[in-house]
Amino acid sequence: MKTMRYEHAHLPTLSQEQRAELAVLAALPDDAIDCNDIPVLSDVAWANAVQGRFYKAIKKPLTVRLDADVLAWLKSQGKGYQTRMNSILREAMQKDVRKS
């Protein structure tokens, strides 16, 4: 198997025809896309799957005031307390979004 990596600036230029085709596809609702030719993946195929591997969220610096005991609890679990705090907040956000 050969792996190719492209830098965004070095991607091939799309023709007008390709751009038009992509615009038509992008306008389709999800339920109008025929996925019958896509094979179902087994549990073995999903065993090494990594969520968010190609997604990198934009981080924003900010100042937050936390209760001292909350901060102590986050820090007591070792390095990465800000990442843990972000994960806790993301989980709460996703639960809230799913409810809506």
pLDDT in tens, 45-59: 888 888 777 878 889
- How many angstroms separate the Cα of 41 from the Cα of each of 38, 45, 46, 48, 82? 9, 6, 7, 12, 35
Structure tokens at 37: 């030719």
pTM over 0.85: no
In terms of Cα–Cα distance, which of 42, 54, 49 is closest to 8? 54
**pLDDT reported for residue 5:** 66
Give tens-digit pLDDT for 61-79.
Answer: 999 999 999 999 999 999 9
Portion of the chain with pLDDT greater than 70, in percent: 91
